[in-house]
A and B are shown apart, each in its own frame.
Chain A
Amino acid sequence: MKIFWRLVLCAAVISLSVWLWTVFFPAPEKVIRHRLAKLAEDVSFDSDQGSLSRLAGGESVAGFFSTNVEITINVPGQEQATFASRAEITQAALGAREKIKSLSVKFPDADVTLAPDKLSAVADVTVDAAVSGERDAIVQELKISFQKTEDGWLITRLETVRPLR
């Protein structure tokens, strides 16, 4: 019986160590998923938000992107939108906050593939966006390229993918 309890204790210690290791040294895929969740949170805004918090939210969105970012977005029925700098992203985020009452963005699926050098990664993401006043949600697939920098994982390229051609 003593051996049994020793084995149980050993297994518990090993499990706790593995869990602590993943908490303090998370895998890059996990870091990128967490970053995507934070991006969705920052892009979203509510009608109850004050103007200051809307401004802060709009400006924080740009921090997820690298300075030489390339963004190409094609939404059916809309003109293609392109952004090539953090300033343009901030402007677009603030513009959206002025035009739309509320926006809720979620990434229900995110498939992250790390490059062999572990310094870049590509995430295939489903974006599900609910805009106030619109009956149907906007659903798109995005291909997002990440680069590991001193400031963490930053988005260098973002483009929409059409599942149907």
Chain B
Amino acid sequence: MSAQTETTSPPRHGWLRVMAIGRNPRNTVVRILILVAGCFVVFKFIMLPLRVTGISMEPTYKDRSINFLNRLAYLTHEPRRGDVVSIRYAGPHVVLMKRIVGLPGETIEFIHGIVFINGSPLAEPYKKNPSDWTLPPEVIGPDEYFVVGDNRDMPAHDHVFGRVERARILGKVLL
């Protein structure tokens, strides 16, 4: 009787191949597919990339900066004062980026650049530049929010702001 003592050692791969496709190419392909599918779902439906164009949110958000829109932000609670949100036009590809300053049912007024909510001045630490906007009081509807940009040293007629329906708010800006 003789016993076989020969053992088979695993095949040795070159370090370049291991670095490029791993020890098991099949597992690497599966990992890549999962990663691609994950990125597609996240960046298409949950965390939409945004490119800021325009100066209406300066100095908080610079023109041509990159950001993300969190579409799940308002699943558990409604938008809050101070949130920077994205507002859709006919669809999600081009959106407005504005800050919520007024909530449903409130009365908002601008006097010499200061926002008054139900007659009380609103502290706005994000607003760095002086403003002289004076606008008459406006009652915000039950399903509406009042949104405005942070850059209010530009004339009010050049700035897009006002009441927006809740259904048009797509989500909260992430950063």
Instruction: Give chain A's interface residues, CB within 8 Å of chain B.
Output: 76-77, 108-111, 124-126, 128, 136-137, 139-142, 162-165
User: Which A residues lie within 8 Å of B163 (CB)?
Assistant: 164-165
The verdict on B89 contacting chain A, using a C-beta distance below 8 Å, is yes
Instruction: Give chain B's interface residues, CB within 8 Å of chain A.
Output: 53-54, 87-94, 96, 98, 147, 157-158, 160-164, 168
Is B157 within 8 A of A77, CB to CB?
A: yes
23 contacts between A and B (CB under 8 A): A76-B157, A77-B158, A108-B91, A108-B93, A108-B94, A109-B93, A109-B94, A111-B91, A124-B90, A126-B89, A126-B91, A126-B94, A136-B53, A137-B53, A139-B89, A163-B88, A163-B164, A164-B87, A164-B96, A164-B147, A164-B162, A164-B164, A165-B164
Interchain CA distance A77-B158 in the complex, whole Å:
7
Known: A76-B160, A77-B157, A126-B94. 17 other contacts (CB 8 A): A76-B157, A76-B158, A77-B158, A108-B93, A109-B90, A109-B93, A109-B94, A126-B89, A128-B94, A136-B53, A141-B89, A163-B88, A163-B168, A164-B96, A164-B147, A164-B160, A165-B164
User: Which A residues lie within 8 Å of B158 (CB)?
Assistant: 76-77
The one of B53, B89, B92, B157 that contacts A163, using a Cβ cutoff of 8 Å: B89
User: Which A residues lie within 8 Å of B96 (CB)?
Assistant: 163-164
Is B91 within 8 A of A109, CB to CB?
A: yes
Is B94 within 8 A of A139, CB to CB?
A: yes
In the assembled complex, how far is the CB of residue A91 from the closest CB belonging to chain B, in whole angstroms? 28
Interchain CA distance A137-B51 in the complex, whole Å:
13
Interchain CA distance A162-B168 in the complex, whole Å:
11
Interchain CA distance A32-B147 in the complex, whole Å:
33
In the assembled complex, how far is the CB of residue A29 from the closest CB belonging to chain B, in whole angstroms? 14
In the assembled complex, how far is the CB of residue B1 from the closest CB belonging to chain A, in whole angstroms? 46
Which of B53, B90, B168 has the most CB atoms of chain A within a 10 A radius of its CB?
A: B90
Interchain CA distance A76-B56 in the complex, whole Å:
14
In the assembled complex, how far is the CB of residue A114 from the closest CB belonging to chain B, in whole angstroms? 16
